[in-house]
Chains A and B, each alone.
Chain A
């Protein structure tokens, strides 16, 4: 047996967008053990339920993450609405669904760019982010915000989108579809990409399930978990199938995200065809008295907002379990047995969002 050495990876590293530290135990170039450390950016946002009214707290919930901000806000208000027994207007449900899918596209394009960058594909990185600008422009035009949208509120949404704009959004998405396809051809069919990703960082089906993997990390290992199938917001009225890849390697996780871009376009188009006229919010009185585990599918996977209220304006507890938090144990398993040179690509393949995980 070779002598074991431990080397630190992160919290500052060229491929890491956020602070995660890993102690990598190596034998020669092979990783034999991994100890993860987070805690560098723990903000304790959940504690603010004690200082903010439940209606104001949605602004805090949205700021848990700068990428899936809309879906955090949506999951939080869904939980409050469930406890209070509110049936919000159908148009608001469709609008939430449309913005959720835009959020997914902007997150996946951001990740695809970073992933390409981690492998040295600078032009692919820039093209991914160029196409992401189209998505961000539509988000900004319809919500007023590129990063923090601020449109969800308890009882509905704060903004409506005109029928003309909705049609324009679908035309715009269909307009960039061929460019997205050309970009995905690079990710999925380029020989260098395949050489760099296939067979690297394999997570078996069983490990993915019992270690708690969610989102593309689980679906890339053949686990068809996609919370959108539960039918929250308007997803129950939309036809779609979760994208699942069986191989469990970095390529499979990349392929899931790449293909989900097109699923999102289809979902948005269906929403625009089916969205009914009507109000986008309702009057809300009282305060939540009860508890609920509100779940939704973020770009990185299942997010949970546990909400407990006692009929007063401040909640008793708001606890968020983000997808990255539960994808850390699978990451530890993924890295065991890999080559040191593959560590950056494998870490990035779970799309880690540490700011989100630490709240």
Chain B
């Protein structure tokens, strides 16, 4: 078994500060990912140093604006444009902002809609 992982909830206002601290501590940016939970969206920031992960999570609404960390980690622009295009969450201050053209999707913000059937129980249970 692998080591258990901790995820620390933070506020939108702490995102850039935590990224700056992570970089100062010698972490690299591993990924930024989004998950839709009900009407909310969880955005997970993952940093790594010596194979140890540091994970921060913000929970936002689709109408919220979140600040870009591309000023801290240049490579964050790929994740932030992806979150905008697939979930419709606006990220402010991205260093390379594709303004909604990073992915060409047939449906606008396709991952902001969930089609799972909630009453399905597991067949293996």
Contact = CB atoms under 8 A, between A and B. Distances in A.
Nearest to A326: B75
A304 B46 CA distance: 11
Given A39-B104, A293-B5, A314 B116 contact: yes
Interface string A82-93: 100101000000
A210 B121 CA distance: 43
B44 interface: yes
A55 B114 CA distance: 20
B75 A312 contact: no
A333 B95 CA distance: 14
B31 interface: yes
Contact of A293 (B46, B73, B114, B125): B46
A212 B102 contact: no
B30 interface: yes
Interface in B12-53: 23, 28-31, 33-37, 44, 46, 51, 53
Interface in B67-122: 73-75, 77-78, 96, 98, 101-105, 110-111, 114-118, 120-122
Contacts of B116: 50, 312, 314, 316
B59 interface: no
Interface in A1-50: 35, 37-40, 42, 44, 46-47, 50
A35 B35 CA distance: 28
A314 B5 contact: no
B124 interface: yes
A125 interface: no
Interface in A221-258: 227, 229-230, 232
Given A82-B1, A293-B46, A312 B73 contact: no
A264 to B, nearest CB: 21
Nearest to B36: A317
B11 interface: no
Interface stretch (A110-118, A129-137, A145-153, A281-289): A281-289
Contacts of A198: none
B123 interface: yes
A188 interface: no
A343 B78 CA distance: 21
B125 A286 contact: yes
* Of A39, A229, A230, A304, most B-chain CB atoms within 10 Å: A39
A344 interface: no
B51 A317 contact: no
A44 B105 contact: yes
Contacts of A328: 75, 78
Interface of A is mostly: mixed
Contact size class for A?
35 or more
B123 A53 contact: yes
Nearest to B102: A39
Contacts of A50: 114-116
B120 A314 contact: yes
Interface in A186-244: 209-212, 227, 229-230, 232
A287 B33 CA distance: 23
B63 interface: no
B75 A330 contact: yes
User: What are the 3 tightest A-B residue pairs by CB atom distance, in nearest-first order?
Assistant: A329-B75, A287-B122, A313-B122
12 contacts: A39-B102, A42-B104, A44-B110, A47-B111, A209-B28, A287-B122, A306-B31, A311-B122, A314-B117, A314-B120, A316-B35, A319-B34
Interface of B: 1-2, 5, 7, 23, 28-31, 33-37, 44, 46, 51, 53, 55, 73-75, 77-78, 96, 98, 101-105, 110-111, 114-118, 120-125
Given A50-B116, A285-B125, A317-B35, 20 more contacts: A42-B104, A42-B105, A46-B111, A82-B1, A85-B1, A210-B74, A210-B75, A212-B28, A230-B51, A292-B2, A304-B46, A308-B35, A311-B122, A313-B123, A314-B117, A326-B30, A326-B75, A326-B78, A328-B78, A358-B103
